[in-house]
Structure 1
Amino acid sequence: MAFSSTIAPGQTLLLDADDTLWENNIYFERAIADFISYLNHECYSAEEVRSFLNDVERETVRERGYGLASFQHSLIVCFERLSSSPIPAEKHERIVGFAQSISRYEIQLLPGVADVLPSLASRHRLILMTKGNEFEQKDKLMRSGLAAYFVAVEVPKEKDPDAYRFVRKKYDLDHRSTWMVGNSPKSDINPALAAGLHAVFIPHPHTWMLEHEAVEPAQNGQHLLELESFTEMGRHF
Protein backbone atom coordinates (compact mmCIF):
# COMPACT_ATOMS: atom_id res chain seq x y z
CA MET A 1 0.00 0.00 0.00
CA ALA A 2 1.40 3.40 -0.90
CA PHE A 3 0.93 6.53 1.18
CA SER A 4 0.80 9.92 -0.49
CA SER A 5 1.73 11.86 2.62
CA THR A 6 3.65 11.50 5.85
CA ILE A 7 1.89 9.64 8.64
CA ALA A 8 1.11 11.78 11.67
CA PRO A 9 3.62 11.99 14.53
CA GLY A 10 2.92 10.11 17.73
CA GLN A 11 2.85 6.59 16.27
CA THR A 12 4.33 3.61 18.11
CA LEU A 13 6.83 1.72 15.96
CA LEU A 14 7.73 -1.81 17.00
CA LEU A 15 11.04 -2.45 15.27
CA ASP A 16 12.62 -5.78 14.50
CA ALA A 17 16.42 -5.87 14.86
CA ASP A 18 18.13 -8.67 12.92
CA ASP A 19 18.09 -7.98 9.18
CA THR A 20 15.89 -4.92 9.72
CA LEU A 21 18.29 -2.64 11.57
CA TRP A 22 21.53 -4.57 11.08
CA GLU A 23 22.94 -7.47 9.12
CA ASN A 24 22.52 -10.84 10.76
CA ASN A 25 21.67 -13.82 8.61
CA ILE A 26 24.55 -13.32 6.19
CA TYR A 27 26.92 -14.35 9.01
CA PHE A 28 24.94 -17.51 9.69
CA GLU A 29 24.95 -18.28 5.97
CA ARG A 30 28.74 -17.97 5.88
CA ALA A 31 29.05 -20.31 8.85
CA ILE A 32 26.68 -22.81 7.22
CA ALA A 33 28.63 -22.71 3.95
CA ASP A 34 31.85 -23.42 5.86
CA PHE A 35 30.14 -26.21 7.78
CA ILE A 36 28.80 -27.90 4.65
CA SER A 37 32.18 -27.60 2.94
CA TYR A 38 33.89 -29.11 5.99
CA LEU A 39 31.39 -31.97 6.18
CA ASN A 40 31.99 -32.71 2.49
CA HIS A 41 29.49 -35.54 2.59
CA GLU A 42 30.21 -38.44 0.28
CA CYS A 43 26.57 -39.22 -0.46
CA TYR A 44 24.57 -36.01 -0.04
CA SER A 45 24.91 -32.85 -2.10
CA ALA A 46 25.38 -29.46 -0.47
CA GLU A 47 21.71 -28.68 -1.16
CA GLU A 48 20.60 -31.92 0.51
CA VAL A 49 22.78 -31.28 3.55
CA ARG A 50 21.33 -27.79 3.83
CA SER A 51 17.79 -29.16 3.67
CA PHE A 52 18.67 -31.64 6.40
CA LEU A 53 20.13 -28.84 8.52
CA ASN A 54 16.93 -26.81 8.06
CA ASP A 55 14.94 -29.69 9.54
CA VAL A 56 17.34 -29.96 12.46
CA GLU A 57 17.09 -26.22 13.08
CA ARG A 58 13.30 -26.45 13.19
CA GLU A 59 13.62 -29.13 15.89
CA THR A 60 16.17 -27.08 17.82
CA VAL A 61 14.06 -23.92 17.77
CA ARG A 62 11.11 -25.82 19.22
CA GLU A 63 13.25 -27.35 21.96
CA ARG A 64 15.82 -24.64 22.73
CA GLY A 65 14.72 -21.39 21.13
CA TYR A 66 16.99 -19.11 19.12
CA GLY A 67 20.54 -17.84 19.49
CA LEU A 68 24.12 -18.95 18.91
CA ALA A 69 23.96 -21.85 21.36
CA SER A 70 20.95 -23.26 19.53
CA PHE A 71 22.62 -22.78 16.15
CA GLN A 72 25.76 -24.50 17.42
CA HIS A 73 23.64 -27.39 18.70
CA SER A 74 21.99 -27.71 15.28
CA LEU A 75 25.34 -27.95 13.50
CA ILE A 76 26.57 -30.64 15.88
CA VAL A 77 23.36 -32.67 15.64
CA CYS A 78 23.37 -32.39 11.85
CA PHE A 79 26.99 -33.53 11.66
CA GLU A 80 26.32 -36.46 14.01
CA ARG A 81 23.27 -37.65 12.09
CA LEU A 82 25.03 -37.49 8.75
CA SER A 83 28.25 -39.12 9.98
CA SER A 84 28.86 -42.85 10.11
CA SER A 85 31.05 -42.59 13.22
CA PRO A 86 31.22 -40.47 16.40
CA ILE A 87 32.64 -36.96 16.07
CA PRO A 88 36.27 -36.75 17.29
CA ALA A 89 37.08 -33.89 19.66
CA GLU A 90 39.02 -32.07 16.95
CA LYS A 91 36.06 -32.07 14.56
CA HIS A 92 33.70 -31.12 17.37
CA GLU A 93 35.78 -28.04 18.15
CA ARG A 94 35.91 -27.12 14.48
CA ILE A 95 32.11 -27.24 14.24
CA VAL A 96 31.76 -25.15 17.41
CA GLY A 97 34.13 -22.66 15.81
CA PHE A 98 31.83 -22.20 12.82
CA ALA A 99 29.04 -21.09 15.15
CA GLN A 100 31.20 -18.99 17.43
CA SER A 101 32.69 -17.09 14.50
CA ILE A 102 29.38 -15.25 14.19
CA SER A 103 29.84 -13.48 17.53
CA ARG A 104 33.08 -11.90 16.33
CA TYR A 105 31.50 -9.83 13.58
CA GLU A 106 31.03 -6.11 14.16
CA ILE A 107 27.46 -4.80 14.02
CA GLN A 108 26.82 -3.57 10.48
CA LEU A 109 23.83 -1.25 10.29
CA LEU A 110 21.68 -1.56 7.20
CA PRO A 111 21.49 1.39 4.77
CA GLY A 112 19.52 4.34 6.11
CA VAL A 113 19.27 3.15 9.72
CA ALA A 114 21.92 5.45 11.21
CA ASP A 115 20.39 8.52 9.56
CA VAL A 116 16.68 7.75 9.81
CA LEU A 117 16.30 6.17 13.25
CA PRO A 118 17.17 9.33 15.26
CA SER A 119 14.61 11.26 13.22
CA LEU A 120 11.97 8.62 13.80
CA ALA A 121 12.68 8.64 17.54
CA SER A 122 12.11 12.40 17.64
CA ARG A 123 8.56 12.02 16.29
CA HIS A 124 7.41 8.58 17.41
CA ARG A 125 7.75 6.07 20.23
CA LEU A 126 10.16 3.28 19.30
CA ILE A 127 10.12 -0.16 20.91
CA LEU A 128 12.58 -2.83 19.85
CA MET A 129 10.78 -6.14 19.41
CA THR A 130 13.06 -8.91 18.28
CA LYS A 131 13.02 -12.60 19.10
CA GLY A 132 16.08 -14.62 20.04
CA ASN A 133 18.37 -15.02 23.02
CA GLU A 134 17.69 -12.03 25.29
CA PHE A 135 21.31 -11.50 26.34
CA GLU A 136 22.58 -11.73 22.76
CA GLN A 137 19.96 -9.38 21.38
CA LYS A 138 20.48 -6.74 24.06
CA ASP A 139 24.24 -7.02 23.62
CA LYS A 140 23.88 -6.42 19.87
CA LEU A 141 21.66 -3.43 20.57
CA MET A 142 24.27 -1.89 22.87
CA ARG A 143 27.06 -2.54 20.35
CA SER A 144 24.96 -1.05 17.56
CA GLY A 145 24.89 2.40 19.16
CA LEU A 146 21.10 2.57 18.72
CA ALA A 147 19.92 1.81 22.26
CA ALA A 148 19.22 5.45 23.17
CA TYR A 149 16.48 5.69 20.54
CA PHE A 150 14.25 3.02 22.11
CA VAL A 151 11.95 3.49 25.07
CA ALA A 152 11.76 -0.27 25.67
CA VAL A 153 13.11 -3.61 24.47
CA GLU A 154 11.07 -6.80 24.13
CA VAL A 155 12.68 -10.16 23.31
CA PRO A 156 9.91 -12.76 23.17
CA LYS A 157 10.76 -16.42 22.65
CA GLU A 158 8.56 -16.37 19.57
CA LYS A 159 6.90 -13.52 17.70
CA ASP A 160 3.41 -14.89 17.23
CA PRO A 161 0.08 -13.04 17.48
CA ASP A 162 -0.04 -13.63 21.25
CA ALA A 163 3.36 -11.96 21.67
CA TYR A 164 2.08 -8.87 19.88
CA ARG A 165 -1.12 -8.85 21.93
CA PHE A 166 0.97 -9.08 25.10
CA VAL A 167 3.14 -6.10 24.11
CA ARG A 168 0.07 -4.16 23.01
CA LYS A 169 -1.51 -4.67 26.44
CA LYS A 170 1.73 -4.13 28.39
CA TYR A 171 2.35 -0.71 26.86
CA ASP A 172 -1.32 0.21 26.41
CA LEU A 173 -0.86 0.57 22.65
CA ASP A 174 -3.60 1.87 20.41
CA HIS A 175 -3.85 -0.49 17.46
CA ARG A 176 -4.78 2.43 15.22
CA SER A 177 -1.36 4.03 15.70
CA THR A 178 0.91 1.02 16.21
CA TRP A 179 3.09 -0.47 13.49
CA MET A 180 5.38 -3.49 13.35
CA VAL A 181 8.41 -2.89 11.12
CA GLY A 182 10.44 -5.85 9.94
CA ASN A 183 11.79 -8.12 7.24
CA SER A 184 10.17 -11.42 8.17
CA PRO A 185 6.68 -12.29 6.91
CA LYS A 186 6.47 -15.13 9.43
CA SER A 187 7.58 -13.27 12.56
CA ASP A 188 7.06 -9.58 11.85
CA ILE A 189 4.29 -8.97 9.37
CA ASN A 190 1.69 -11.72 9.48
CA PRO A 191 1.44 -12.14 13.27
CA ALA A 192 1.33 -8.36 13.79
CA LEU A 193 -1.53 -8.06 11.32
CA ALA A 194 -3.26 -11.00 13.01
CA ALA A 195 -2.98 -9.09 16.31
CA GLY A 196 -4.72 -6.09 14.76
CA LEU A 197 -1.68 -3.86 14.19
CA HIS A 198 -0.41 -2.11 11.07
CA ALA A 199 2.82 -3.36 9.49
CA VAL A 200 5.75 -2.15 7.43
CA PHE A 201 7.47 -4.86 5.41
CA ILE A 202 11.09 -4.19 4.44
CA PRO A 203 12.32 -7.33 2.64
CA HIS A 204 15.92 -8.38 3.07
CA PRO A 205 17.56 -10.43 0.29
CA HIS A 206 19.05 -12.86 2.81
CA THR A 207 16.17 -13.39 5.22
CA TRP A 208 16.53 -16.76 6.98
CA MET A 209 14.65 -19.35 4.93
CA LEU A 210 12.75 -20.56 8.00
CA GLU A 211 11.20 -17.09 8.14
CA HIS A 212 9.88 -17.25 4.57
CA GLU A 213 6.11 -17.11 4.22
CA ALA A 214 3.58 -15.46 1.96
CA VAL A 215 2.62 -12.01 3.24
CA GLU A 216 -1.02 -11.89 4.29
CA PRO A 217 -3.17 -8.96 3.13
CA ALA A 218 -4.15 -6.23 5.56
CA GLN A 219 -7.72 -6.37 6.77
CA ASN A 220 -10.22 -3.51 6.91
CA GLY A 221 -8.85 -0.65 8.96
CA GLN A 222 -5.27 -1.91 8.77
CA HIS A 223 -2.35 -0.65 6.70
CA LEU A 224 0.44 -2.71 5.18
CA LEU A 225 3.29 -0.72 3.71
CA GLU A 226 6.10 -2.38 1.72
CA LEU A 227 9.37 -0.48 1.37
CA GLU A 228 12.56 -1.23 -0.51
CA SER A 229 14.85 -0.07 2.28
CA PHE A 230 14.85 1.45 5.76
CA THR A 231 15.74 4.79 4.20
CA GLU A 232 12.15 5.09 2.95
CA MET A 233 10.86 5.06 6.55
CA GLY A 234 11.90 8.69 6.79
CA ARG A 235 9.59 9.64 3.92
CA HIS A 236 6.51 8.04 5.48
CA PHE A 237 6.99 8.47 9.22
Structure 2
Amino acid sequence: MDDTLIHCNKYFEMILCKFADVMLEWFSEYQLTNSEIRSKQIEIDVAGVLKSGFASKHFPQSMIETYHYFSRMTGREINPAEENQLMELGMSVYEQNIEPYPGMVETLDILEHQGHELNLYTGGEKAIQERKIEQMKLASYFHDRIYIRQHKNEEALEQILTSRHFDRENTWMIGNSLRTDIIPALAAGINTIYIKLPNEWSYNVVELKNEPTTAMYTVSSLEEVPSIIAESIAAKQKKRTL
Protein backbone atom coordinates (compact mmCIF):
# COMPACT_ATOMS: atom_id res chain seq x y z
CA MET A 1 0.00 0.00 0.00
CA ASP A 2 2.55 2.61 1.13
CA ASP A 3 4.36 4.14 -1.86
CA THR A 4 2.53 1.78 -4.19
CA LEU A 5 -1.09 2.93 -3.83
CA ILE A 6 -0.62 5.93 -1.55
CA HIS A 7 2.20 8.36 -0.79
CA CYS A 8 4.31 7.59 2.26
CA ASN A 9 8.03 8.26 1.87
CA LYS A 10 7.58 11.94 1.03
CA TYR A 11 6.03 12.59 4.44
CA PHE A 12 8.97 10.96 6.20
CA GLU A 13 11.32 13.01 4.02
CA MET A 14 9.52 16.20 5.02
CA ILE A 15 9.89 15.37 8.72
CA LEU A 16 13.56 14.44 8.28
CA CYS A 17 14.25 17.81 6.64
CA LYS A 18 12.74 19.51 9.71
CA PHE A 19 14.79 17.21 11.96
CA ALA A 20 18.03 18.12 10.21
CA ASP A 21 17.22 21.83 10.49
CA VAL A 22 16.56 21.50 14.22
CA MET A 23 19.78 19.54 14.75
CA LEU A 24 21.83 22.09 12.81
CA GLU A 25 20.38 24.80 15.03
CA TRP A 26 21.02 22.95 18.28
CA PHE A 27 24.55 21.90 17.29
CA SER A 28 25.46 25.10 15.42
CA GLU A 29 28.69 25.63 17.34
CA TYR A 30 29.94 22.13 16.50
CA GLN A 31 29.82 22.54 12.71
CA LEU A 32 27.76 19.46 11.94
CA THR A 33 26.59 19.03 8.37
CA ASN A 34 23.21 18.04 7.01
CA SER A 35 24.85 15.04 5.33
CA GLU A 36 26.35 13.78 8.61
CA ILE A 37 23.02 14.03 10.40
CA ARG A 38 21.03 12.35 7.65
CA SER A 39 23.57 9.54 7.18
CA LYS A 40 23.59 8.67 10.88
CA GLN A 41 19.77 8.73 11.07
CA ILE A 42 19.52 6.40 8.05
CA GLU A 43 22.03 4.01 9.61
CA ILE A 44 20.11 3.88 12.89
CA ASP A 45 16.73 3.76 11.14
CA VAL A 46 17.57 0.81 8.90
CA ALA A 47 19.14 -1.16 11.76
CA GLY A 48 16.05 -0.58 13.88
CA VAL A 49 13.57 -1.69 11.21
CA LEU A 50 15.58 -4.85 10.57
CA LYS A 51 15.33 -5.66 14.29
CA SER A 52 11.84 -4.44 15.21
CA GLY A 53 9.87 -4.15 11.99
CA PHE A 54 7.56 -1.26 11.17
CA ALA A 55 6.73 -0.07 14.69
CA SER A 56 5.39 3.50 14.81
CA LYS A 57 7.68 4.74 17.58
CA HIS A 58 10.75 3.44 15.82
CA PHE A 59 10.96 6.43 13.46
CA PRO A 60 10.99 9.15 16.14
CA GLN A 61 13.27 6.94 18.22
CA SER A 62 15.78 6.86 15.36
CA MET A 63 15.90 10.66 15.46
CA ILE A 64 16.36 10.66 19.23
CA GLU A 65 19.17 8.11 18.96
CA THR A 66 20.81 10.26 16.28
CA TYR A 67 20.53 13.22 18.66
CA HIS A 68 22.13 11.12 21.43
CA TYR A 69 24.94 10.06 19.10
CA PHE A 70 25.93 13.62 18.25
CA SER A 71 25.46 14.73 21.85
CA ARG A 72 27.99 12.12 22.97
CA MET A 73 30.30 12.94 20.08
CA THR A 74 30.35 16.68 20.80
CA GLY A 75 29.91 16.60 24.56
CA ARG A 76 26.70 18.64 24.31
CA GLU A 77 24.28 17.95 27.15
CA ILE A 78 21.17 15.87 26.39
CA ASN A 79 18.03 17.85 27.13
CA PRO A 80 14.80 15.94 27.96
CA ALA A 81 12.73 18.76 26.46
CA GLU A 82 14.60 18.36 23.18
CA GLU A 83 14.02 14.60 23.27
CA ASN A 84 10.28 15.22 23.71
CA GLN A 85 10.33 17.68 20.83
CA LEU A 86 11.90 15.05 18.56
CA MET A 87 9.40 12.41 19.65
CA GLU A 88 6.52 14.75 18.80
CA LEU A 89 8.11 15.68 15.49
CA GLY A 90 8.61 12.05 14.54
CA MET A 91 5.12 10.93 15.51
CA SER A 92 3.61 13.81 13.51
CA VAL A 93 4.45 11.91 10.31
CA TYR A 94 1.45 9.67 11.00
CA GLU A 95 -0.89 12.68 11.16
CA GLN A 96 -0.27 13.89 7.61
CA ASN A 97 -3.09 14.02 5.10
CA ILE A 98 -3.00 10.91 2.92
CA GLU A 99 -2.69 11.25 -0.84
CA PRO A 100 -3.21 8.48 -3.41
CA TYR A 101 -0.64 7.85 -6.10
CA PRO A 102 -1.72 9.01 -9.56
CA GLY A 103 -4.03 6.44 -11.12
CA MET A 104 -4.70 4.52 -7.90
CA VAL A 105 -8.47 4.31 -8.32
CA GLU A 106 -8.29 3.85 -12.08
CA THR A 107 -5.73 1.04 -11.77
CA LEU A 108 -7.72 -0.82 -9.12
CA ASP A 109 -10.90 -0.38 -11.18
CA ILE A 110 -9.23 -1.84 -14.28
CA LEU A 111 -7.76 -4.80 -12.40
CA GLU A 112 -11.11 -5.53 -10.78
CA HIS A 113 -12.88 -5.22 -14.15
CA GLN A 114 -10.36 -7.67 -15.65
CA GLY A 115 -11.58 -10.22 -13.11
CA HIS A 116 -8.58 -10.29 -10.75
CA GLU A 117 -8.99 -11.01 -7.05
CA LEU A 118 -7.24 -8.11 -5.30
CA ASN A 119 -5.30 -8.61 -2.07
CA LEU A 120 -3.69 -5.86 0.00
CA TYR A 121 -0.44 -6.60 1.86
CA THR A 122 1.11 -3.80 3.89
CA GLY A 123 3.63 -3.30 6.66
CA GLY A 124 3.12 -1.28 9.83
CA GLU A 125 1.02 -1.08 12.94
CA LYS A 126 -2.55 -2.27 12.57
CA ALA A 127 -4.29 0.90 13.80
CA ILE A 128 -2.24 3.23 11.61
CA GLN A 129 -2.60 1.14 8.47
CA GLU A 130 -6.31 0.55 9.04
CA ARG A 131 -6.83 4.30 9.32
CA LYS A 132 -5.16 4.80 5.93
CA ILE A 133 -7.23 2.01 4.40
CA GLU A 134 -10.43 3.58 5.72
CA GLN A 135 -9.50 7.09 4.55
CA MET A 136 -8.72 5.83 1.04
CA LYS A 137 -11.81 3.54 1.03
CA LEU A 138 -9.63 0.63 -0.05
CA ALA A 139 -11.77 -2.02 1.64
CA SER A 140 -14.23 -1.69 -1.24
CA TYR A 141 -11.59 -3.33 -3.44
CA PHE A 142 -9.92 -5.72 -0.99
CA HIS A 143 -12.76 -6.65 1.43
CA ASP A 144 -11.42 -9.26 3.88
CA ARG A 145 -8.28 -9.83 1.82
CA ILE A 146 -6.19 -7.29 3.77
CA TYR A 147 -2.97 -8.38 5.48
CA ILE A 148 -1.11 -6.06 7.85
CA ARG A 149 2.24 -7.23 9.20
CA GLN A 150 4.79 -5.45 11.40
CA HIS A 151 7.52 -7.49 9.71
CA LYS A 152 7.39 -7.85 5.91
CA ASN A 153 9.69 -10.69 4.92
CA GLU A 154 9.69 -14.12 3.29
CA GLU A 155 8.17 -15.78 6.35
CA ALA A 156 5.29 -13.30 6.58
CA LEU A 157 4.47 -13.60 2.88
CA GLU A 158 4.63 -17.39 2.93
CA GLN A 159 2.19 -17.44 5.85
CA ILE A 160 -0.25 -15.32 3.84
CA LEU A 161 0.10 -17.44 0.71
CA THR A 162 -0.63 -20.63 2.65
CA SER A 163 -3.53 -19.11 4.62
CA ARG A 164 -5.88 -19.41 1.63
CA HIS A 165 -5.73 -20.75 -1.89
CA PHE A 166 -3.33 -18.82 -4.11
CA ASP A 167 -2.45 -20.10 -7.56
CA ARG A 168 1.16 -19.02 -7.38
CA GLU A 169 1.73 -19.29 -11.11
CA ASN A 170 -0.95 -16.64 -11.61
CA THR A 171 -0.36 -14.56 -8.48
CA TRP A 172 1.36 -11.17 -8.71
CA MET A 173 3.13 -9.03 -6.13
CA ILE A 174 3.12 -5.33 -7.02
CA GLY A 175 5.27 -3.06 -4.88
CA ASN A 176 8.02 -0.49 -4.59
CA SER A 177 10.32 -2.31 -2.17
CA LEU A 178 12.89 -4.77 -3.43
CA ARG A 179 13.54 -5.87 0.15
CA THR A 180 10.01 -6.42 1.46
CA ASP A 181 7.93 -6.91 -1.70
CA ILE A 182 9.94 -8.27 -4.61
CA ILE A 183 12.58 -10.55 -3.06
CA PRO A 184 10.09 -12.37 -0.75
CA ALA A 185 7.67 -12.77 -3.68
CA LEU A 186 10.35 -14.24 -5.95
CA ALA A 187 11.35 -16.63 -3.16
CA ALA A 188 7.71 -17.68 -2.85
CA GLY A 189 7.47 -18.42 -6.57
CA ILE A 190 5.03 -15.71 -7.58
CA ASN A 191 5.25 -13.07 -10.29
CA THR A 192 6.33 -9.53 -9.51
CA ILE A 193 6.04 -5.97 -10.77
CA TYR A 194 8.59 -3.67 -9.19
CA ILE A 195 7.54 -0.01 -9.20
CA LYS A 196 10.89 1.76 -9.14
CA LEU A 197 10.59 5.15 -7.48
CA PRO A 198 13.04 8.06 -7.43
CA ASN A 199 14.59 8.87 -4.05
CA GLU A 200 13.57 5.50 -2.57
CA TRP A 201 14.07 4.90 1.16
CA SER A 202 17.47 3.27 1.53
CA TYR A 203 15.99 0.38 3.54
CA ASN A 204 14.10 -0.75 0.43
CA VAL A 205 17.12 -0.68 -1.88
CA VAL A 206 18.92 -4.01 -1.91
CA GLU A 207 20.57 -6.16 -4.55
CA LEU A 208 18.82 -9.04 -6.26
CA LYS A 209 21.24 -11.91 -5.75
CA ASN A 210 19.49 -14.57 -7.80
CA GLU A 211 18.03 -14.56 -11.30
CA PRO A 212 14.20 -14.57 -11.05
CA THR A 213 12.56 -17.89 -11.99
CA THR A 214 9.14 -16.23 -12.31
CA ALA A 215 8.05 -13.16 -14.25
CA MET A 216 9.54 -9.88 -13.02
CA TYR A 217 8.87 -6.49 -14.55
CA THR A 218 10.20 -3.09 -13.57
CA VAL A 219 8.01 -0.04 -14.18
CA SER A 220 7.98 3.60 -13.13
CA SER A 221 4.27 4.04 -12.44
CA LEU A 222 1.30 2.18 -11.02
CA GLU A 223 -0.70 2.87 -14.16
CA GLU A 224 1.50 0.48 -16.17
CA VAL A 225 0.47 -2.53 -14.09
CA PRO A 226 -2.83 -3.66 -15.72
CA SER A 227 -1.44 -3.83 -19.26
CA ILE A 228 1.62 -5.80 -18.13
CA ILE A 229 -0.50 -8.42 -16.38
CA ALA A 230 -2.94 -8.60 -19.31
CA GLU A 231 -0.11 -9.04 -21.81
CA SER A 232 1.52 -11.72 -19.66
CA ILE A 233 -1.73 -13.67 -19.41
CA ALA A 234 -2.29 -13.38 -23.17
CA ALA A 235 1.25 -14.61 -23.86
CA LYS A 236 0.71 -17.65 -21.62
CA GLN A 237 -2.56 -18.51 -23.32
CA LYS A 238 -1.01 -18.19 -26.75
CA LYS A 239 1.88 -20.42 -25.71
CA ARG A 240 -0.55 -23.12 -24.53
CA THR A 241 -2.35 -23.13 -27.88
CA LEU A 242 0.84 -23.61 -29.92
Q: TM class, shorter-chain normalised?
A: 0.7 to 0.9
Q: Pairwise mapping of residues 1-237 of structure 1 onto structure 2 (< 5 A)?
A: 17-40=1-24, 41=27, 42-83=30-71, 84-122=75-113, 123-151=115-143, 152-215=145-208, 217-219=211-213, 222-237=214-229
Q: Amino acid of the residue matched to residue 184 of structure 1? A: S
Identical aligned residues as a percent: 26
What is the CA–CA distance in structure 1 between the aligned matches of 2:192 and 2:40, rounded to whole Å? 33
What is the CA–CA distance in structure 2 between the aligned matches of 1:18 and 1:87, rounded to whole Å? 34
Structure 1: segments with no counterpart, 5+ residues: 1-16
What is the CA–CA distance in structure 1 between the aligned matches of 2:123 and 2:137, rounded to whole Å? 19
Q: Amino acid of the residue matched to residue 56 of structure 2? A: L
Q: How far 1:192 moved relative to its partner?
A: 0.6
Q: Amino acid of the residue matched to residue 91 of structure 1? A: E
Structure having the larger proportion of residues in helix? 2
Q: How far 1:82 moved relative to its partner?
A: 1.1
Does the Cα contact within 8 Å between 1:18 and 1:24 map onto a contact in 2?
yes
Q: Which residue of 2 aligns with 1:7?
A: none
Q: How far 1:156 moved relative to its partner?
A: 2.2
Q: Amino acid of the residue matched to residue 30 of structure 1? A: M
Question: Which protein has greater RCO, CA pairs closer than 8 Å, 6+ apart?
Answer: 1
Q: TM-score when scaled to structure 2?
A: 0.83
Q: Deviations over 1:197-235 (max 9, x none)?
A: 11011112132111101345321xx11122221111232
Does the Cα contact within 8 Å between 1:200 and 1:226 map onto a contact in 2?
yes
Q: How far 1:167 moved relative to its partner?
A: 1.2
Q: How far 1:86 moved relative to its partner?
A: 4.2
What is the CA–CA distance in structure 2 between the aligned matches of 1:180 and 1:23, rounded to whole Å? 18
What is the CA–CA distance in structure 2 between the aligned matches of 1:232 and 1:36, rounded to whole Å? 36
What is the CA–CA distance in structure 2 between the aligned matches of 1:212 and 1:194, rounded to whole Å? 17
Q: How far 1:116 moved relative to its partner?
A: 1.5
Q: How far 1:43 moved relative to its partner?
A: 4.2
Q: How far 1:118 moved relative to its partner?
A: 2.2
- How many residues are aligned here? 219
* Partner SS, residue 218 of structure 1: coil
Q: TM-score when scaled to structure 1?
A: 0.85
Q: Amino acid of the residue matched to residue 20 of structure 2? A: I
What is the CA–CA distance in structure 1 between the aligned matches of 2:77 and 2:189, rounded to whole Å? 50
What is the CA–CA distance in structure 2 between the aligned matches of 1:159 and 1:63, rounded to whole Å? 12
What is the CA–CA distance in structure 2 between the aligned matches of 1:183 and 1:150, rounded to whole Å? 19
CA RMSD after TM alignment: 1.8
What is the CA–CA distance in structure 2 between the aligned matches of 1:206 and 1:172, rounded to whole Å? 36
Structure 2: segments with no counterpart, 5+ residues: 230-242
What is the CA–CA distance in structure 1 between the aligned matches of 2:51 and 2:220, rounded to whole Å? 34
Q: Deviations over 1:134-166 (max 9, x none)?
A: 221121111112221014111223222222221
Q: How far 1:62 moved relative to its partner?
A: 3.9
